[in-house]
Chain A
Amino acid sequence: KAGVTQTPRYLIKTRGQQVTLSCSPISGHRSVSWYQQTPGQGLQFLFEYFSETQRNKGNFPGRFSGRQFSNSRSEMNVSTLELGDSALYLCASSYAGDTQYFGPGTRLTVL
Protein backbone atom coordinates (compact mmCIF):
# COMPACT_ATOMS: atom_id res chain seq x y z
CA LYS A 1 0.00 0.00 0.00
CA ALA A 2 1.46 3.37 -0.96
CA GLY A 3 2.28 5.75 1.88
CA VAL A 4 1.40 9.38 2.40
CA THR A 5 2.67 11.63 -0.34
CA GLN A 6 3.28 15.36 -0.09
CA THR A 7 4.03 17.82 -2.83
CA PRO A 8 6.12 19.75 -3.36
CA ARG A 9 8.97 18.48 -1.21
CA TYR A 10 10.76 21.82 -1.15
CA LEU A 11 9.58 25.40 -1.59
CA ILE A 12 11.24 28.77 -1.43
CA LYS A 13 9.02 31.84 -1.14
CA THR A 14 9.43 35.47 -0.17
CA ARG A 15 7.67 37.35 2.60
CA GLY A 16 4.14 38.39 1.75
CA GLN A 17 3.56 35.63 -0.78
CA GLN A 18 1.15 32.78 -0.30
CA VAL A 19 1.74 29.06 -0.66
CA THR A 20 -0.34 25.91 -1.14
CA LEU A 21 0.87 22.49 -0.03
CA SER A 22 -0.73 19.21 -1.02
CA CYS A 23 -1.15 15.89 0.75
CA SER A 24 -2.44 12.57 -0.59
CA PRO A 25 -3.33 10.16 2.23
CA ILE A 26 -3.01 6.40 2.29
CA SER A 27 -5.73 4.77 0.24
CA GLY A 28 -8.85 4.27 2.35
CA HIS A 29 -7.87 6.82 4.99
CA ARG A 30 -10.39 9.56 5.58
CA SER A 31 -8.58 11.76 8.09
CA VAL A 32 -5.73 14.13 7.27
CA SER A 33 -3.90 16.16 9.89
CA TRP A 34 -1.31 18.88 9.34
CA TYR A 35 1.60 19.71 11.62
CA GLN A 36 4.35 22.32 11.59
CA GLN A 37 7.84 21.31 12.72
CA THR A 38 10.47 23.89 13.64
CA PRO A 39 13.70 23.57 15.65
CA GLY A 40 12.41 25.97 18.29
CA GLN A 41 8.81 24.80 18.75
CA GLY A 42 9.01 21.18 17.65
CA LEU A 43 5.95 19.55 16.14
CA GLN A 44 2.76 21.54 16.50
CA PHE A 45 -0.73 20.60 15.39
CA LEU A 46 -2.31 22.86 12.76
CA PHE A 47 -5.66 21.24 11.89
CA GLU A 48 -7.38 17.99 11.04
CA TYR A 49 -9.90 17.18 8.33
CA PHE A 50 -12.25 14.24 8.24
CA SER A 51 -14.67 13.62 5.38
CA GLU A 52 -14.11 17.12 4.00
CA THR A 53 -14.86 18.83 7.34
CA GLN A 54 -12.38 20.51 9.65
CA ARG A 55 -12.79 18.59 12.87
CA ASN A 56 -9.96 20.03 14.98
CA LYS A 57 -7.89 23.18 14.89
CA GLY A 58 -4.66 24.17 16.62
CA ASN A 59 -3.52 27.57 17.83
CA PHE A 60 -2.33 29.11 14.60
CA PRO A 61 -3.41 32.42 13.04
CA GLY A 62 -6.06 32.57 10.36
CA ARG A 63 -3.35 32.89 7.69
CA PHE A 64 -3.14 29.12 7.92
CA SER A 65 -6.05 27.36 6.30
CA GLY A 66 -6.82 24.05 4.72
CA ARG A 67 -9.37 21.97 2.96
CA GLN A 68 -10.08 18.39 2.08
CA PHE A 69 -11.54 17.05 -1.12
CA SER A 70 -13.99 14.20 -1.67
CA ASN A 71 -11.12 11.83 -2.50
CA SER A 72 -9.57 12.66 0.93
CA ARG A 73 -6.67 14.59 -0.58
CA SER A 74 -5.95 17.73 1.39
CA GLU A 75 -4.36 21.08 0.76
CA MET A 76 -2.97 23.58 3.19
CA ASN A 77 -2.61 27.26 2.39
CA VAL A 78 -0.53 29.92 4.11
CA SER A 79 -1.17 33.51 3.09
CA THR A 80 1.00 36.58 3.66
CA LEU A 81 4.06 34.52 4.48
CA GLU A 82 6.33 35.59 7.34
CA LEU A 83 9.94 34.59 8.00
CA GLY A 84 8.76 32.58 11.00
CA ASP A 85 6.67 30.35 8.74
CA SER A 86 9.83 28.64 7.54
CA ALA A 87 9.38 25.05 8.69
CA LEU A 88 8.81 21.46 7.73
CA TYR A 89 5.09 20.96 7.14
CA LEU A 90 3.98 17.41 7.78
CA CYS A 91 0.78 15.72 6.80
CA ALA A 92 -0.49 12.67 8.68
CA SER A 93 -3.05 10.22 7.38
CA SER A 94 -5.32 7.93 9.40
CA TYR A 95 -8.47 5.95 8.87
CA ALA A 96 -10.49 7.99 11.36
CA GLY A 97 -7.95 10.07 13.28
CA ASP A 98 -6.53 7.38 15.49
CA THR A 99 -3.22 5.89 14.29
CA GLN A 100 -1.52 8.61 12.28
CA TYR A 101 1.04 7.92 9.59
CA PHE A 102 3.21 10.78 8.43
CA GLY A 103 4.36 11.79 5.01
CA PRO A 104 7.89 13.01 4.19
CA GLY A 105 6.94 16.65 4.63
CA THR A 106 7.29 19.83 2.61
CA ARG A 107 10.20 22.04 3.60
CA LEU A 108 9.20 25.68 3.23
CA THR A 109 11.78 28.41 3.31
CA VAL A 110 10.60 32.03 3.49
CA LEU A 111 13.13 34.66 2.47
Chain B
Amino acid sequence: QKEVEQDPGPLSVPEGAIVSLNCTYSNSAFQYFMWYRQYSRKGPELLMYTYSSGNKEDGRFTAQVDKSSKYISLFIRDSQPSDSATYLCAMRKGDYKLSFGAGTTVTVRA
Protein backbone atom coordinates (compact mmCIF):
# COMPACT_ATOMS: atom_id res chain seq x y z
CA GLN B 1 0.00 0.00 0.00
CA LYS B 2 1.30 3.43 -0.94
CA GLU B 3 1.76 6.05 1.78
CA VAL B 4 -0.23 8.59 -0.24
CA GLU B 5 -3.26 7.59 -2.30
CA GLN B 6 -4.74 9.83 -4.98
CA ASP B 7 -7.31 8.92 -7.61
CA PRO B 8 -5.61 9.50 -10.98
CA GLY B 9 -8.92 10.33 -12.68
CA PRO B 10 -9.20 11.59 -15.33
CA LEU B 11 -11.68 14.22 -14.20
CA SER B 12 -13.58 16.29 -16.76
CA VAL B 13 -15.77 19.25 -15.75
CA PRO B 14 -17.49 22.11 -17.59
CA GLU B 15 -16.11 25.61 -17.30
CA GLY B 16 -17.33 27.34 -14.14
CA ALA B 17 -17.78 24.12 -12.16
CA ILE B 18 -16.14 23.36 -8.82
CA VAL B 19 -13.28 20.89 -9.07
CA SER B 20 -12.85 18.66 -6.04
CA LEU B 21 -9.62 16.72 -5.54
CA ASN B 22 -8.51 14.64 -2.60
CA CYS B 23 -5.79 12.43 -1.18
CA THR B 24 -5.62 10.04 1.71
CA TYR B 25 -2.52 9.02 3.59
CA SER B 26 -1.59 6.29 5.99
CA ASN B 27 1.32 7.73 7.96
CA SER B 28 0.24 9.98 10.83
CA ALA B 29 3.77 11.44 10.95
CA PHE B 30 2.99 13.63 7.93
CA GLN B 31 2.78 17.21 9.14
CA TYR B 32 3.00 19.46 6.08
CA PHE B 33 0.68 19.25 3.09
CA MET B 34 0.97 20.73 -0.36
CA TRP B 35 -0.83 20.84 -3.67
CA TYR B 36 1.09 21.25 -6.90
CA ARG B 37 -0.17 21.82 -10.42
CA GLN B 38 1.73 20.36 -13.35
CA TYR B 39 1.11 21.26 -16.95
CA SER B 40 2.23 18.88 -19.66
CA ARG B 41 6.02 18.84 -20.10
CA LYS B 42 6.52 21.31 -17.24
CA GLY B 43 7.71 21.06 -13.64
CA PRO B 44 5.20 21.07 -10.75
CA GLU B 45 4.08 24.51 -9.59
CA LEU B 46 3.25 25.03 -5.90
CA LEU B 47 -0.37 26.05 -5.36
CA MET B 48 -1.04 25.60 -1.65
CA TYR B 49 1.00 24.83 1.46
CA THR B 50 -0.69 24.01 4.76
CA TYR B 51 0.39 22.75 8.14
CA SER B 52 -2.54 22.52 10.47
CA SER B 53 -5.94 20.91 10.12
CA GLY B 54 -8.61 23.19 8.72
CA ASN B 55 -9.12 25.30 5.62
CA LYS B 56 -6.81 27.64 3.75
CA GLU B 57 -8.06 29.83 0.95
CA ASP B 58 -6.12 31.56 -1.82
CA GLY B 59 -8.20 33.13 -4.56
CA ARG B 60 -10.20 30.40 -6.29
CA PHE B 61 -8.34 27.66 -4.43
CA THR B 62 -9.24 26.17 -1.04
CA ALA B 63 -7.17 23.50 0.66
CA GLN B 64 -8.57 21.39 3.48
CA VAL B 65 -6.66 19.17 5.86
CA ASP B 66 -8.26 16.67 8.23
CA LYS B 67 -5.46 15.03 10.18
CA SER B 68 -7.80 12.89 12.24
CA SER B 69 -9.11 11.24 9.05
CA LYS B 70 -5.77 11.46 7.22
CA TYR B 71 -7.50 13.19 4.35
CA ILE B 72 -6.68 16.34 2.37
CA SER B 73 -8.66 18.11 -0.32
CA LEU B 74 -8.28 20.86 -2.87
CA PHE B 75 -11.25 22.75 -4.29
CA ILE B 76 -11.06 24.96 -7.37
CA ARG B 77 -13.98 27.36 -7.75
CA ASP B 78 -15.13 28.86 -11.05
CA SER B 79 -12.84 26.52 -12.98
CA GLN B 80 -11.32 27.75 -16.24
CA PRO B 81 -9.89 25.89 -19.25
CA SER B 82 -6.48 27.14 -18.10
CA ASP B 83 -6.92 25.02 -14.95
CA SER B 84 -6.62 21.89 -17.11
CA ALA B 85 -3.56 20.15 -15.71
CA THR B 86 -2.43 17.34 -13.43
CA TYR B 87 -2.83 18.12 -9.73
CA LEU B 88 -0.46 16.44 -7.30
CA CYS B 89 -0.84 16.25 -3.56
CA ALA B 90 2.39 16.09 -1.58
CA MET B 91 3.25 15.80 2.07
CA ARG B 92 6.23 15.47 4.35
CA LYS B 93 7.19 14.69 7.92
CA GLY B 94 9.79 16.66 9.86
CA ASP B 95 12.41 15.86 7.25
CA TYR B 96 12.41 17.45 3.81
CA LYS B 97 11.43 14.48 1.66
CA LEU B 98 8.19 15.03 -0.17
CA SER B 99 5.89 12.04 -0.73
CA PHE B 100 3.57 12.53 -3.67
CA GLY B 101 0.23 11.15 -4.73
CA ALA B 102 -0.11 9.75 -8.25
CA GLY B 103 -1.68 12.98 -9.52
CA THR B 104 -5.19 13.63 -10.87
CA THR B 105 -5.57 14.76 -14.48
CA VAL B 106 -8.22 17.47 -14.77
CA THR B 107 -9.79 18.80 -17.96
CA VAL B 108 -12.03 21.86 -17.85
CA ARG B 109 -14.24 21.98 -20.94
CA ALA B 110 -15.02 25.39 -22.45
* Chain A residues engaging chain B, CB cutoff 8 angstroms: 4, 31, 33, 35, 42-45, 48, 50, 55-56, 58, 90, 92, 94, 97-105, 107
Contacts and interface: CB of A to CB of B under 8 A. Distances in A.
Nearest to A45: B97
A90 B90 CA distance: 15
A107 B49 CA distance: 27
B46 interface: yes
B44 A56 contact: no
Interface of B: 32, 36, 41-46, 49, 88, 90, 95-103
A4 B95 CA distance: 21
A48 B96 contact: yes
A107 B90 CA distance: 22
A99 B100 contact: no
Contacts, number: 53
Nearest to B6: A42
A104 B96 contact: no
Contacts of B88: 43
Nearest to B36: A102
Nearest to A97: B96
Most buried by B among A43, A98, A102: A43
B25 to A, nearest CB: 14
Given A42-B102, A42-B103, A102-B36, A48 B97 contact: yes
Contacts of B32: 98
List the 9 closest A-B pairs by CB distance, nearest first: A97-B96, A102-B43, A43-B100, A45-B97, A102-B44, A104-B43, A42-B102, A105-B43, A56-B97
30 contacts: A31-B96, A33-B98, A35-B98, A42-B100, A42-B101, A42-B102, A43-B44, A43-B88, A43-B90, A43-B98, A44-B100, A45-B99, A55-B96, A56-B95, A56-B96, A56-B97, A90-B44, A94-B96, A97-B95, A97-B96, A98-B32, A99-B46, A100-B96, A101-B46, A102-B44, A102-B45, A102-B46, A103-B43, A104-B42, A107-B41
